[in-house]
Structure 1
Amino acid sequence: MTALMGICIVNVPFMALPVEASLVPPSAALDQVAAFLVEGLFQAKFFLLFSFLFGWSLHQQAQSAQKKGVSFNRRYARRLSGLAVLGVLHAVLVFNGDILLLYVLLGLVIWPLRQRDPATLIRIALTMVPLGVVSLTSLGILLPDTLSSGTTLGGGYWEATRTRWLDWPGTFAFLLLFQGPLAFAAFASGLAAAKSGFFETPLNRGRVSLNKGLPWLIFFGVTFNLYYAAAMSWMIPPERGLHSLAGLVVLVLGAPLLSAAYLGLLLKLTERYTLPDWLMRAGRNSLSVYVLQGILAGAVFGGYGLGLFGTMGQGALFFVAIAVAVMSMAIVSVLAKRFERGPLEALLRAWTYGGTP
């Protein structure tokens, strides 16, 4: 649920502003602060929480299949194929920054590793750090060539769809370099957490270690990510390209550290407070919420909707993103209460199980 909110805050500016806006410092002070905080505290952090839960769910699905005496491999293959179709449709029809297809590819890679013990999975996750450094360094060098000069939502729906289709290969390559290694590390960590009973009790060894290290995670996570935000924004002159490259490298360490800190803080909150039922239902139906965020944002910014593309600054977009996220969660929660599941969860479940219980 929190991950979905953070993802929406990061994604909405990409749907609401032309690509060129990311290359020019905002003129208004509020927009500068908002852009800095989004890059420092949200960007590349919340999708890691989402990825962590994806890895955790892999173990839950395997256990469920084992208890029912059915083939997990068959179920998992069908689930990934269903996600792939949804990912392609989402990228072309809604938002070409889609992460579902990337998750499918990473899900294929982690599939053979599902029998590994938690310690091995954590070591695999750690090997993604140097790979992430190479990946983001390459991205820093190639970044100008991966950006499209076209707008995505400024015209009518079919014009926007055509633009998304044409831009998608470059966007996917960007996501693969920017998110791939760290997302896979989160997959492996989530799978290790599930195998070790991380969420089952606060006395779990991993939970205890996370709580002990929380102050350091917050300190280094915030420090590294604020440097990344400064290096990528108006705070450091753009002619100092080395800082931008260093910022991307620092992000490889900073993003997982701050994501882990967020996880620790969220667990502390859930130990003390009970979330409202509607938020719990939204969290259990995250696929529908994620896709609906893009649909609602398209209705707000697209020329086929309210046509507000390019009319708002980063400051206003921050609050619009929160409104879109809350509205998406509320709508999906109502649907899930009425029909037991969100629409895409029901569709994916029907395809995954293929008529089996």
Structure 2
Amino acid sequence: MDVMSTPTKNRIIAVDAIRGFSLFGILIVNILSFHSPHFMYGGKQSFYETMATNGEIVDSNLILTVIDLFFQASFYPLFSLLFGIGLWIMYEKRDSLEANRILIKRMFILMGIGLLHGIFIWYGDILFSYSIVGLIAIRFLQVSIKKLLIWAISLLAVPTILFTLAAYSVREQMLVVYEREINKATEAYRGTYSEIFQQNLSDWLLMVDPIQLLLTVMTILPMFLFGIIIGRTRLFEDVNKYKQMIWRIIGISFVIAVVFKAGPYLFENKTWLNFMQDSIGGSAAAIFYFYALLMLLSSLQKTSILVKLFSSVGRLSLSNYLLQSIIGFWLFYGVGMNLYGTQSLSSLLLIVVVIYLFQLVVSYFYLKRFRIGPFEWIYRSLTYGKMMGFKK
């Protein structure tokens, strides 16, 4: 995540602020996985309907719909887009052989961090997948923009069409709720660390199952490639220069996002459309968010407190992402506050707001004394084989 270093101050602030905001969207989705096994094993809607008696303020189905439309599968692709921009910026600043060597090393280090995070803390880790996709994306850094665009669109469209057709043929079976697995996971995550570890490892192995991992790569890689295209064309450096083109991109991506994110709700059983909703709709939403936020940021002074707060979280994105997992582990699992499966959706959203506000404030004041976050420091020090500067 920390691969997003940029050569000019304005670009650092803009990209970091967008990345910082992305962590809020990511936390909203991730907290559902931390709170109960239903996000993975089904029955999410009926489960949260039963939680209404636990102090639900807003209708649970409305909250789940809002999360599905505006957050689910939209913010990880946005992070992937930013990651792709960062890959290109790091590549262009160095000799191609040296850049490839450094980038490959960074991806393997990120893979190691992802493995530790996924196995010992939270099965929903994305760093491991990012590292694999990053290794693939490096091979595209010298490909022409036209070919990059063809690859990105093809990688989004072809697997989506094939998987959606396959899902339609078994659409009734996709509604199955795995009650046995739900009960087993609930008991384990409320137990000792040994029980938590075993269940987490089991869930993580499901997440990195070859088929599941391939689907993840097919969703993320196109966004890496779109990010490389944006980095190479400089479509985010001078907003005023490219304003007309940016508004056109915002309009097109918005329409695609609405059609593919909201369109499936016209079907009574939309489960078979979930992959299309996430891959096409989520990717379009990510592009829309990127440029809409970029236009918003361009209208604000870079000294604005909001820009400073969001960019501070973004500059510490790796540390803040892992911190969210550590907090989630402590809040919901048996070795901590043991809130697993006990909270209403309204309560979970309140928890998200509190955690994120905490990260905004701490990140802002932390960067007044330190140059980089603790996990960014480990990441960079391992990459360059020397102790990097920590304090200002």
Shorter-chain TM band: 0.7 to 0.9
Distance 1:334 1:93, change over 3 A: farther
Q: Name the residue aligned to 1:40.
A: 69
Residues 174 and 272 in structure 2, CA contact (< 8 A), matched pair in contact too: no
Q: Distance in 1 between matches of 2:167 and 2:66?
A: 22
Residues 45 and 64 in structure 2, CA contact (< 8 A), matched pair in contact too: no
Could you tell me which runs of 5 or more consecutive residues in structure 1 were left unpaired when the two chains were aligned: none
Q: Name the residue aligned to 1:224.
A: 260
1:183-242, Cα deviation, whole Å (9 max, x unpaired): 11100000111111122111455x6323124334324422421234676xxxx3xxx4xx
Q: Given the alignment of the two structures, is residue 134 of structure 1 paired with residue 162 of structure 2, yes or no?
A: yes
Of 290-299 and 251-260, the range deviating more from structure 2: 251-260
Q: Given the alignment of the two structures, is residue 24 of structure 1 paired with residue 46 of structure 2, yes or no?
A: yes
Q: Distance in 2 between matches of 1:278 and 1:271?
A: 16
Distance 1:157 1:344, change over 3 A: same
1:42-89, Cα deviation, whole Å (9 max, x unpaired): 1000111100011111111113333xx981222112211110110011
1:215 partner letter: G
Q: Given the alignment of the two structures, is residue 10 of structure 1 paired with residue 29 of structure 2, yes or no?
A: yes
Of 23-32 and 257-266, the range deviating more from structure 2: 23-32
Q: Given the alignment of the two structures, is residue 263 of structure 1 paired with residue 290 of structure 2, yes or no?
A: yes
Distance 1:202 1:310, change over 3 A: same
Q: Distance in 1 between matches of 2:233 and 2:46?
A: 46
Q: How many residues align?
A: 345
1:295 to 323, 326, 332: 326
Q: Distance in 2 between matches of 1:146 and 1:336?
A: 46
The percent identity for this pair of structures is 24
Q: Could you say what secondary structure the match of 1:202 adopts? A: coil
Output aligned runs, 1:328-339, within 5 Å.
328-339=359-370
1:6-34, Cα deviation, whole Å (9 max, x unpaired): 11101001101232542636324621111
Residues 97 and 172 in structure 1, CA contact (< 8 A), matched pair in contact too: no
Q: Name the residue aligned to 2:381.
A: 350
2:316 partner letter: N
Q: Name the residue aligned to 1:197.
A: 234
Shift of 1:130: 1.5
Q: Name the residue aligned to 2:6.
A: none
1:294-352, Cα deviation, whole Å (9 max, x unpaired): 11111111111111111112232122223223323433444343221011111000011
Of 127-136 and 290-299, the range deviating more from structure 2: 127-136
Q: Name the residue aligned to 2:150.
A: 123
Q: Given the alignment of the two structures, is residue 285 of structure 1 paired with residue 316 of structure 2, yes or no?
A: yes
2:324 partner letter: Q
1:108 to 116, 122, 135: 135
Shift of 1:169: 1.4
Shift of 1:143: 6.0
1:42 partner letter: F
Residues 8 and 322 in structure 1, CA contact (< 8 A), matched pair in contact too: no
Q: Name the residue aligned to 2:5.
A: none
Q: Could you say what secondary structure the match of 1:114 adopts? A: coil
Q: Name the residue aligned to 1:186.
A: 223
